[in-house]
Structure 1
């Protein structure tokens, strides 16, 4: 996965994607990544020759998938970049809603210009690539790479003298322009695009709306870890607002509420009959516990095993870093329709009419 570009996605499986894919059965040809996020797992699976379908409820994550997984050949050219940066910044949606909330006013006007110019690009793949690059630029300018800080904190942390005094690092990249960051990452994102001679697909929906319509040999599940700090709408919802040019609403099935977590997992596992192999990532600091998840899985499958390894997330507190373990639940669904299994290698992301 050497060509996977820098995405800066909290909860990203980049460091363990190879380990996860090493567990995939040799007879599997198709994969559905149901909570695709930054697409590191999908990218590794694509690099191994699998036919990949992704889904994520966040629009910005759909664009990452559309740019790096579904897209097999389209890259941004110099003329595309000229289009993206053309014109004068103006007061649009970002200026009206997020000036001195997450970015300075002039920066918001620049974002409004780039959002307008993205629509001038001549293909959906190019638009998705541009969104992915703007996302990367916005993340690089944001302290801690997430949009849940107060404006006072942001201004303080973007002060290079303060940063040096407190952290012994100036973090000058927070004050580089969006254009600088786009150009600085352009080559890496273009180089990440490749074909494995398969057709891939990407969805942007609540997972419960697509499970009945998608067939694949493997389903990989990496939902937000309940009880952890990973509030993905809170961290990245701003970029969906940027894409939609309107304020978006938090999604319903966010897996963050302990009161509904058991019920959500139960419903999720009950809808996996289209898939022969189920892979679920979770960790020992989250809720439900390993034992509770096993009890739920046993309601719908018999052949279950769990493997584990140490894995540290950047957002993890110092105390948990030493104790954090990543679990991988592996299920072979013996009730899976054998005839359906034969079809899935040719029918990834098959949808009902």
Structure 2
């Protein structure tokens, strides 16, 4: 089972490189783990590979699709017939054309997105549909300079000009101008092979973390919230993908952990919601707010045992001068009063 490979996701803040290290810290009596800010699902995927029962949750619709496709889904993959159906038909003016033509993609590309969305929506199997949207996420990200949807249109056009890119950066970045279908098909095998059954039943949720924690049961909860004070505008980076999935302009979500003025209160509230769970694992880094000592004190309240581990971790979106100064911090908490 361990040969299964996590596919290319391109998710800012992804823990792919240290997911194994984090999983190594799970206590021996853990059978079910809840990844409540699952993001690109790298930790959930590693936990599933190791035989745990996994509960994955994220408030972004596109991350929920990833969790449905790669975590909850144990069997269903996209066949050649499915893919041919997804890319059959002709250009269509719809939601993306109306709202995002010449905003993030050219008009003809938005018309492609509209007809592809219509075809994906007609898939009956929810896991096939989730895989298709996950592959479209990959395709849309590959065509987007810097892999996030916060770039002005004039800059997008400039960076997608292969001659400009070559003159400026020594790279033509031709993949920005490949079709959605080309990117989809190039990544199809990698996503299909990532679907596997570890003998457990998994769940994927699309909820605010405070609502989720009221109704799930798990031996350990892994928390990887946005790191306050760093580049953590996940709705800005990926909200367009949520709008594409839903064919509705999505609004920024609450409880986003971006505001330094609110984050301590959010952490206190979050810790209060963790009381039913025996183990808590919290990822953070050494330049975020609140700092290491403040978080450790908050987590240790009520007599909880707190162990702090560190590992170097390079954040791709960090400025060059800061890349080597960042360390990933993992707080491992044992709650002696868990009431499960």
Q: Same fold (TM over 0.5)?
A: yes
How far does residue 302 in structure 1 lie from its aligned partner after superposition? 2.2
Q: Distance in 1 between matches of 2:36 and 2:219?
A: 13
- Is residue 307 from structure 1 mapped to residue 284 from structure 2 by the alignment? no
Using a 3 Å threshold, how does the CA distance of structure 1 residues 243 and 300 change in structure 2: closer, same or farther? farther
> For 1:25-66, what per-residue CA distance to the aligned partner results, in whole angstroms no more than 9, with x for missing partners?
111100000000000000000000000001100000000000
Among candidates 129, 135, 138, match of residue 136 of structure 1: 138
1:40-119 matched pairs, under 5 angstroms = 40-119=42-121
Among candidates 243, 248, 252, match of residue 246 of structure 1: 248
Structure 1 length-normalised TM: 0.94
Question: Once superposed, what is the RMSD of the aligned Cα atoms?
Answer: 0.9
Corresponding residue SS for 1:213: coil
Counterpart residue number, 1:284 = 286
Q: Distance in 2 between matches of 1:88 and 1:4?
A: 33
Q: Distance in 2 between matches of 1:300 and 1:284?
A: 24
1:1-353 matched pairs, under 5 angstroms = 2-337=4-339, 340=340
Q: Distance in 1 between matches of 2:137 and 2:62?
A: 8
Q: Distance in 1 between matches of 2:204 and 2:73?
A: 10
Structure 2 length-normalised TM: 0.98
- After the TM superposition, which parts of structure 1 deviate over 3 Å for at least 4 consecutive aligned residues? none
How far does residue 122 in structure 1 lie from its aligned partner after superposition? 2.1
> For 1:281-310, what per-residue CA distance to the aligned partner results, in whole angstroms no more than 9, with x for missing partners?
000111110011112112244200100011
Corresponding residue SS for 1:327: strand
Q: Distance in 1 between matches of 2:270 and 2:288?
A: 17
Corresponding residue SS for 2:219: strand
Q: Distance in 1 between matches of 2:14 and 2:80?
A: 30
Corresponding residue SS for 1:90: coil
Corresponding residue SS for 1:66: helix
Counterpart residue number, 1:346 = none
Unaligned runs of 5+ in 2: none
Larger mean Cα displacement after TM superposition, 292-301 or 174-183: 292-301
CA contact (8 A) 1:223 1:255 kept: yes
Larger mean Cα displacement after TM superposition, 80-89 or 292-301: 292-301
Corresponding residue SS for 1:7: coil
Counterpart residue number, 1:348 = none
